[in-house]
Amino acid sequence: MIKITGAVTFFLFRIGQSYTDIAEISLYGTPGSRDGRFCDTSQYFDASSLICKSCPSNTIVDTRYKDGYGNYNHCRCAIGWRKTFNDCSGDKSGTCSPISCSNCGTSSFTDNSACVTCGSSTLGLDSSTLECSCSFPNQAIVETDQVGNYLPKKECVDCPAGSKVIITDSFIAGVQYYKDFYSCQRCPDPRMTMSYSNQVYSCSCPPEYTLVGVSSIGPQSCLLTTAASSFLLVQSKAVVVQYNGALLTKSISSQTMLHYFTAAAAACTSNNGPDGVAGCQTLANLCVLQLFDITSQACAAHLAIVAARGAGGYENGVINWVYQNPWLFFALPPAAGAAQPVCLSDAYRAYLYLATYKFLFTVAVYTMNGTFAGFQTVDTLFSYCGRSPPYTGLGGGSSSSTIYQILGYSAHSNFSCELNSLVGKQQLFYELYLYDRKTDKSVPVPVRIVNLQSGGVPVNSKYPKFLCDSSDIMVRRFFLADTISGIASTSSSSSSLQAIRYATYMNLEIALSKTIAGHIYPPVLTIYYNETIPPSTVPDEFEIVDITFNVDYTMNMDNFKATLITFFIIVMVFTGLLFFLRMYYWNMRNTRLSTNFTAGVDAGIVNAKSAFEFALLAMHTWVMAFFPFTVAVAWYFFLFFKIETSISILMPPQYHIYRSSSPYFLFTTNLHVMAFFQFAYVCVMVARQCNADLFFIDWEPARSRPDSAVKGGQTPQHVSVWRSILVANEWAEMQTLRKTNIKFTLFMLGFLMVAQDLQYNGTFYPVLSDKSPGEFNVLLRFANTTFFWLVLAYGQYVLKYLGYEQFVVEPPEQLFIDFCTIAKISVIVLDEKYHGYYLHCRSPHQYAEGTMSELVEMLHKEEAGLTSDRSLEGAPPDVQSFQIFLSGECRAAFDKVYVTLAGAEASATSVNESRARAAKARAGPGNKGSSLTGGVWLGQINFVPTDKVVRAWKELTVFLQEFIENNFGKPGLRRVIREPTYYEKLFYAGPNLTIPEQPSVFFTDRDLYYTTVMFLGREMDLLLLNILSYSLFDLWLNSTITSVLLCYLLDYSIAFVRRSWGQATISRKTLIDRRFLI
């Protein structure tokens, strides 16, 4: 077993048929704490064995050669030893050393090529190091002449004034120096003088100069006191950096600001050479680190220099870009109102085509000290921070998407970042450009820093109305992470990082020109910085932060909004007119003037009932008007955004869609309003359908059978109730029957959206054929799903209407009328007080009950035309369905008879409930009861009528039969039949029966609108609820599968309530025991 100190367990090897021992080898493959090295300074790293080894005797590590981690690669002969090369060509074992070292007895050259003695100018040989001695640190050893030839002996030479030999590794004036007996080294500033006292090196400036800079940050320098004096006076203010992040609010005296400010400001002000250019760039970087706060000393100094040099002209014809200074602000001084001309100037003059035009963004890169590091393409620059394994997929990095470079492809990316990875990286600054192929020039991209303040007040909003607001201050330079301005002094000799700034939100917005087709405005980059304490001082959960980078292709919506408002007003006017029209006809249908005979009949007075009805009509009218309007708007954007070949429409950015400032606010609000309005309307519709008055009129006469025991020889038989039970079952089955199959619709919708990837039609990508996953646009997603909803629903309807019900089977509503006619049972259903439907199903045959042969014979006679017409007397031929409008007198007479039945039903219901509770108590808590008792909700109690109820029901049946046959003599109790006009059918209007003493009116119902009292005739309202509920779930959850499931559950719940409650109503209204409703 071999164990070498380290961290990684190695492998199990198999050689031949035997196994070696498990080698638990610790590999030095991870940088340690020695500034990236993992071998000691006295060791070298053997790459073949992946371990650190000590050098053989008489050798030392060769400090001239290191690997990427700072480890020494091999050994060399020590000073005083001569190197000779060995011939190892015949060695097969690999143990032959390519070099060998032999003792010189004196010193040797530094490359160990030969032995050498010490000259007369030296102090002789140091026996401990075998090196020649000089008067260090004022003298240096030399072993070659000026052209590089070795001298016969090593000699000592005096160092020039101000320089010294470094005899021990030292950190001097911000620079790390290493021991070297062979050279004289100077301070970082040539004006400095290096001195050595008490074994300590130091650098000092001449009397007329001032030492500036912080050694822990970088090299110090000397400045003329006269040039630096004005900046030294404000240096204490210039070093203050204010942090206002969510996790950090404090002021820091920045060592970075202290190090750079005075030197940069003085150099930029007084020096016109390269140092002046570097100083101006550094001063600009300090202003950027202050987030362009014009009250900061760095920005104030920059602006003062720009203002002073502005009279001399501008660089590249750009105002505020002056000689030797970078261009930071778009306005001087930065002021409100300057942003609009910048954002709304046309940048491109060429007509652009979608999916073929690719943008090329570049950045000019600068280091902290003002050095221009060149240009580079943006690509994944903004995905600047990542995660360490095994979570690299959650972070940014070079593998991030760059699809945003294609015109029209908006892209939103979110990734997590380990703040540790930012610390220690080189501080870089960027200026963003967009390459213009038309002019072969780069267009500068304005930058909006959300954190930018003016007078302590933020001026740039995170989400501007369009590109930028009029009050915005636009700048040029930015950084992605700041890990240097937060360095503060912790003692007289050390400093530490106390704050980090990082770009947590970046948004690049590219907009179409409002005035010139095919042109775009200059893109605008918005950056928001967050500020926090360094990772080493926070818990682990705060070391991972979320970063957002969005690219939005958009357009100015002002013209569209103006047009939309115009159409909105038109739709509102239409909605208002339609509402008042519907309200008028509802009021006319439900208003009857009172007479002595009709005392208590509604007189059109506005009360709580009518107010509720008006509100319900208003909600439903809103949905009827605004649903097609909303769909039309969504389809408009979808059509021109997804199918266009040249750029004409782009979608607005999608942020905070529930805020009033969002361009999607009206859509999302209206979608919520329509969905809840329609849900409320359907709930009331279900309640009214379940509470509608339902009556079966059995026209079957009682047959007589021969009986010699009675006078006349005939005994009348009772009429069977089974025909009524069968009709009631058919009616119950039709309650939740629909024109379309919601299960099929939802299944196909899920299949098309998910399995066929058609849901990605709703992404921000402008090409319809591109089904790549991406962020969904709420308006496009609504347009996409609504289209398939309508195609699937109306496709089923058309196939059923034109195919199945034309050639295979008759519609269920017609089959029900035929069935009732054979059963000789008419149906009256009243959905309003004065309105309802009558199905005249009085068969022309004498009897409905009989044998199979009798039934077949009757059908053959009717088919041959040997019987009278099925229609009601006075009605057109073959019309059996009628829409009825009751007069006030008829309703009053009906109520007078019905009140007896209602009172008897109430008494019977109370008795049935008492029986059910008693039966349930006897069954015990663990027994759900039998079919004789049932449940206790949604009408589950079986209604068993009493004799009183039966007598009242017979009386009401006789009244209805007399009314249908028009046997009453009073005008108000009679009826007339007429055809409705197209206008009356379109607006659900009826005759004006508000004046007393008018007969009731029967409209012929050729379209079988009686199905409006069940789901079959309410397909449009139910389909609207399905679409709106699905769209709302999809908006909330952004998941097709979940939305399909929730939509189905909602539809199933409504159908369940309608079915259960409806069966209870049928049982109560027709006196048929619910146990017979299968």
Residue among 71, 50, 47 at smallest CA distance from 61: 71
Residue among 637, 695, 684 at smallest CA distance from 663: 637
Mean pLDDT of the region 494-503:
84
Q: What is the dihedral of CA 843, 847, 852, 853, to 10 degrees?
A: -100
Side chain identity, residue 207: P
For the ranges 388-392, 566-570, 643-647, 682-686, which has the lowest average pLDDT?
643-647
- Please calculate the CA angle 626-630-633 and round it to the nearest 5 degrees: 140
What is the DSSP code string of 295-323? TSHHHHHHHHHHHHHGGG--GGG-TT--T
Residues paired with 37 in a beta bridge: 34
**Chain position carrying tokens 């709580």:** 608
CA distances in angstroms from 420 to 195, 385, 532, listed in the order given: 39, 10, 12
Q: Which residues, 6 or more positions from 17, have their beta carbon under 8 angstroms from its beta carbon?
A: none
Side chain identity, residue 832: E
Q: Beta strands 453-454 and 457-458: pairing type?
A: antiparallel
Give the tens place of pLDDT for each residue, 328-371: 888 766 655 555 566 766 554 444 444 457 888 999 999 999 99
Q: Quick check: 676 pLDDT over 90?
A: yes
Q: Quick check: 659 pLDDT over 80?
A: yes
Give the tens place of pLDDT for each residue, 762-776: 998 888 888 888 889
Residue among 919, 837, 918, 916 at smallest CA distance from 882: 837
CA-CA distance, 856 to 862, in Å (whole number)? 10
Looking at residue 646, what is its pLDDT?
Answer: 72
Q: Quick check: 596 pLDDT over 60?
A: no
398 band by pLDDT with thresholds 50, 70 and 90: confident
Q: Quick check: 849 pLDDT over 90?
A: no
865 band by pLDDT with thresholds 50, 70 and 90: low
Mean pLDDT of the region 722-739:
91
Asked if 821 and 841 touch (Cβ cutoff 8 Å), the reply is yes
Q: Quick check: 714 pLDDT over 80?
A: no
Decide which of 905 and 8 is more confident.
905
Tokens of 1042: 């979940």
Portion of the chain with pLDDT greater than 70, in percent: 85
Q: Beta strands 240-244 and 249-253: pairing type?
A: antiparallel
For the ranges 100-109, 219-228, 374-383, 450-459, which has the lowest average pLDDT?
450-459
10 band by pLDDT with thresholds 50, 70 and 90: very low
Looking at residue 474, what is its pLDDT?
Answer: 87
CA-CA distance, 980 to 754, in Å (whole number)? 48
State which H helix or E strand residue 1003 sits in.
strand 1000-1004
Looking at residue 727, what is its pLDDT?
Answer: 92
DSSP-assigned letter for residue 664:
T
Asked if 554 and 641 touch (Cβ cutoff 8 Å), the reply is no
Residue 628 phi/psi, 5-degree rounding, is -65, -30
Mean pLDDT of the region 524-543:
77
Q: Quick check: 612 pLDDT over 50?
A: yes
HEC secondary structure over 759-798: HHHHECCCCCCCCCCCCECHHHHHHHHHHHHHHHHHHHHH
For the ranges 45-59, 312-326, 929-943, which has the lowest average pLDDT?
929-943
Looking at residue 906, what is its pLDDT?
Answer: 59
Mean pLDDT of the region 284-305:
91
CA-CA distance, 263 to 228, in Å (whole number)? 7
Tokens of 403: 């699809």
CA-CA distance, 1005 to 242, in Å (whole number)? 79
What is the torsional sign of CA 105, 109, 113, 116? negative
Decide which of 97 and 942 is more confident.
97
Asked if 59 and 25 touch (Cβ cutoff 8 Å), the reply is no
Decide which of 14 and 379 is more confident.
379
Residue 714 phi/psi, 5-degree rounding, is -130, 135
728 band by pLDDT with thresholds 50, 70 and 90: very high
Q: What is the dihedral of CA 170, 173, 174, 178, to 10 degrees?
A: -30
Looking at residue 434, what is its pLDDT?
Answer: 87
129 band by pLDDT with thresholds 50, 70 and 90: confident
Q: How many helices (H) and strands (E) does the chain have?
A: 19, 49
Residue among 954, 950, 946, 937 at smallest CA distance from 1064: 937
Looking at residue 1005, what is its pLDDT?
Answer: 92
**Chain position carrying tokens 């909105």:** 568
Most confident of 485-499, 714-728, 882-896: 882-896
Portion of the chain with pLDDT greater than 90, in percent: 42
Q: Quick check: 36 pLDDT over 60?
A: no
Mean pLDDT of the region 1049-1070:
92
HEC secondary structure over 184-242: EECCCCCCCEEEEECCEEEEECCCCEEEECCCCCCCCEEEEHHHHHHHHHCHHHHCEEE
Decide which of 602 and 503 is more confident.
503
Looking at residue 929, what is its pLDDT?
Answer: 45
987 band by pLDDT with thresholds 50, 70 and 90: confident
Mean pLDDT of the region 124-135:
91
